[in-house]
Structure 1
Amino acid sequence: MGTGKRGLLAAAVTVVCAVTVLAAPGTAFAAPTPTPSASATPGSGSGVPTPPRSKDLEQVREKLDKLYHDAAVATDAYNAAEEQTKKQSAQIVTLAKKIVEGQQKLERLKDQAGAAARAQYRTGGLPPTAQFLLSDDPQRFADGAGTVLNGERATKKLLTEMTRTQKELRQYADDASARWEKLEANRKEKAAAKKKIKQQIAAAEKLESKLEKKERERLAELEQQAAYKAQTAWLDTGILKEINGKASAQGKRAVQFATAQLGKPYVWGAEGPKSFDCSGLTSQAWAKAGHAIPRTSQEQWKQLKHVDIKDMRPGDLIIYFDDASHVAMYVGDGAIIHAPRPGRWVTVAGAGSMPILGVVRPDA
């Protein structure tokens, strides 16, 4: 693929802002070749400081990648625990309502049983045969025998209903107890994941803070070059010639939502409206498109339909890395919109700029 084609979308935002991004891909997205900075020019007695060695900075870049990757994995764990906590809290509330309703029902049944017992006491508590033998008016007793039989049936039904209600209450209580235990476990998982996220991000920020300005600029160039190299290799496979899918109606709405978030900061655990993490962006985009999907990138990979890369279309989600720790939305022309990592913003990038695990389709 020619250099002109790869450099055409230097202003990458326009790719997704135009309607053409939702049609069949034409020009491939590729990052522009980085422009060498002053730090890349060695000094030769001119007073210009010697630039940092690329090898050392490359090691820094790799270490930062690992720290942020581990933070992303922990973020997925945090988000999963958060989702489970919400569900279990709602389930506990439902169970609590059922327990209250069951207790009220049991009280009513007990009142009815008490009334039946008092009525039986007033008749002496004698069995029907004895009442017949002792009655001064056998005919009158015979007329009331049907009523007695119906009363016995009603009493039996009442006792059965009380027993069932008591059993349900015990089950509700057991379920609520189990939910509380899971809720507490999820809270601990959230706390552990949150701690790890903060540790990894703090370590990355500490590492970056040790760099001088020119080193940070050179590091940014190395990051850009690594993404460019990966994207170029992906495009050179010719895969883009096979990708001709057009967005569905829901896919278009999802892409439009994602596009509107460009420039908003990445914040782990965030689902908008002012900030997002990677799966917060994709899950909210599809929710706004009218199709709810799992919250985390790992669950999106597990639960949504897998499609071949050659069959993907705008709106589909590309899952990255072997552990499915990152997700982005494909928007056409070899480009994605994603929330990269802490310290970055929702942006457009090359679909092949990271190791692709696979593609999933929310509205399959």
Structure 2
Amino acid sequence: MGSGKRGLLAAALTVVCAVTVLAAPGTALAAPDPTPPRSGSGTASTPATNEELESIRLQLEDLYHDAAVATDAYNAAEELAEEQSAQIVGLAKRIVDGREKVADLKALAGAAARAQYRSGGLPPEAQLMLSDTPREFLDGSERILQGQRATDHTLAELTRTQQDLEQYAKDASTGWEKLEANRKAKDAAKKKIKKQIAAAERVESQLAKEEKERLARLEQQAASRSQTAWLGTGILDDIEGRATAQGKKAVAYATDQLGKAYEWGAEGPSTFDCSGLTSQAWAAAGTPIPRTSQEQWRQLPRVGVEDMRPGDLIIYNSDASHVAMYIGDGSIVHAPRPGRTVTITGAGSMPILGVVRPGA
């Protein structure tokens, strides 16, 4: 290994180790020390061997994988924050309506109390003895009894409404606490995403143009090997599923985005992350689905790989950190990672966790 390449690998490992330390619990989120810039395109140092570039490719794969996991956490927190905010707004409206109802009920109760005061508050027996027309008194007594029942109902409803108001206030307070905790989780995920991507970009910046081109070829070769191995199982012989009308719409939307840049947290229309692309594609087909790849894996119906059809979603990696849309003939459309665009590639180019079917 040339001395220049030793410096390159050392720099790459320094960045990876720094990010690993940053990701550890209880570690301060200090930025890693910048790696020294690398000059020349092979003239000032010995070009990297394929083995060295393969090592860098694997390091980048790990960094971008961790960024994808953090992106899923960010997207989930974003979606939850929207739900929590909507709940708080709903509770606030209930509190306003409840206060107006309390005011109305208090007015009714006050009117009943004033009417009773004007009657002198005499007991019914005394009023009967003093009455010139017992028949009228009895009729009036019935009306008084009805009024008392209405007053009792008003007071009971007033009590219930006041109790509801207290509960709404408690729920709103709890909602604010959850929203604040969720905001902190989202901020932490955002910081991790940026650090992982910055670390990967720093590693790539150490490569000369020719080395970047060779690295890209190594990535393509690795994906091709995985796809060939997947196809070698004879899986396409078993896949015969035809797309539904909705599946065709979802595929059409996703493939219309080809060439658009990956951006973490993005749901279009100009940029996408992996689950932003799949969720928007199925929304365009008339079937809303969860926002993140992990929730798509958790909530949507699962089907066997041999039973999948165009429009189904393939979930990748053991932690469900990536998702793509199957488009038929052993291919997928997906938004791969930062620095890449929406593209078509082999469905077996990454480790498949399973397949889910929106609109099942």
Encode CA deviations 1:331-354: one digit per residue, 9 max, x unaligned: 001000000000000000100000
2:315 corresponds in structure 1 to: 319
| Cα gap change, 1:50 to 1:130, in 2 (>3 Å) | same
AA at the equivalent of 2:66? D
3-state DSSP class of the match of 1:357? strand
Counterpart of 1:240 in structure 2 is 236
Change (3 A) 1:317 1:134: same
Q: State the TM-score, normalized to the length of structure 2.
A: 0.86
Q: Which residue of 2 aligns with 1:98?
A: 94
Letter in 1 for 2:293: S
Range with greater deviation from structure 2 (168-177 or 323-332): 168-177
In the alignment, is residue 141 of structure 1 matched against residue 112 of structure 2?
Answer: no
Select the residue among 119, 124, 127 that pairs with 2:123: 127
1:57 aligns with: 53
- In 2, Cα distance between the equivalents of 1:183 and 1:232? 47
- Tell me the number of residue pairs that the alignment of Structure 1 and Structure 2 aligns: 319
Q: Which residue of 1 aligns with 2:351?
A: 355
Residue 158 (structure 1) aligns with: 154
Shift of residue 51, structure 1, vs aligned partner: 3.2
Aligned counterpart, 2:4:
none
Residue 38 of structure 2 corresponds to which residue in structure 1? none
1:185 is the counterpart of 2:181:
yes
Q: State the one-letter code of the partner of 1:198.
A: K
Query: For residues 302-339 of structure 1, what are the alpha-carbon distances to aligned partners after superposition, in whole Å with 9 as ceiling and x for unaligned?
Result: 01111001100000000000000000000001000000
Q: Provide closer, same or farther for how the CA distance between residues 200 and 49 of structure 1 changes in structure 2, counting only shifts above 3 A.
A: closer
Alignment match of 1:304 (pick from 293, 300, 307) = 300
1:181-202 superposed Cα distances (whole Å, 9 cap, x missing partner): 1111111111010010001001
Please list the CA deviations of residues 115-155 of structure 1 after superposition, one character each: whole Å capped at 9, or x if unmatched: 11111111122332343345455443223111111111111
1:290 aligned counterpart, secondary structure? coil
User: For 1:322 and 1:139, how far apart are their aligned partners in 2?
Assistant: 86
| Secondary structure of 2:146's aligned partner | helix
Q: How does 1:67-106 map to 2 (within 5 A)?
A: 67-106=63-102
Alpha carbons of 1:198 and 1:127: their partners in 2 closer, same or farther (altered >3 Å)? farther
Partners of 2:125 and 2:196 in 1: CA distance: 84
Q: 1:312 to 1:123 in 2, by over 3 A?
A: same
Query: What secondary structure is seen at the aligned counterpart in 2 of 1:327?
Result: strand
What is the identity, as a one-letter code, of the residue corresponding to 1:222?
Answer: L
- Output the aligned Cα RMSD: 1.6
Return the alpha-carbon distance in structure 2 between the equivalents of residues 203 and 321 of structure 1.
Answer: 21
SS in 2 for 1:244: coil
Pairs within 5 Å for 1:234-273: 234-273=230-269
Amino acid at match of 1:328: A
Aligned-partner Cα distance in 2 for 1:183–1:331: 38
Query: CA offsets per residue over residues 146-188 of structure 1, 9 Å max, x none?
Result: 1111111111111111111111111211221121111111111
Aligned to 2:37: none
Indicate the residue corresponding to 1:340 in structure 2.
336
Deviation of 1:88 after TM superposition, in Å, equals: 1.0
Q: Measure how far apart 1:272 and its partner are.
A: 0.3
Q: Which deviates more, 131-140 or 91-100?
A: 131-140
Q: Could you tell me how far apart the structure 2 residues matched to 1:158 and 1:124 are?
A: 22
Inter-partner Cα distance in structure 2 for 1:310 and 1:146:
78
Q: State the alpha-carbon separation in 2 of the partners of residues 272 and 195 from structure 1.
A: 22
Cα deviation digits, residues 77-97 of structure 1 (max 9, x gap): 000000011111111111111
Q: Match for residue 173 of structure 1?
A: 169
Moved more, 66-75 or 47-56: 47-56
Match of residue 205 from structure 2: 209
1:230 aligns with 2:223: no
**Which whole-Å deviations, capped at 9, do the CAs of 1:211-238 have from their partners, x for residues lacking one?**
1111111111111111111111111111
CA distance in 1, matches of 2:135, 2:94: 49
Deviations 1:267-300 (A, max 9, x none): 0000000000000000000000000100000000
Distance in 2, Cα, partners of 1:131 & 1:96: 49
**Identity value in percent:** 69
The alignment partner of 2:272 has SS state of: coil
Shift of 1:49: 7.8
- TM-score norm. by structure 1 comes to 0.85
Take 2:321 and 2:154, find their aligned partners in 1: how far apart are those partners?
57
- 1:147/1:310 Cα in 2 relative to 1: closer, same or farther (>3 Å)? same
Distance 1:363 1:216, change over 3 A: same
Asked whether 1:113 is paired with 2:101, we answer: no
Residue identity matched to 1:56? E
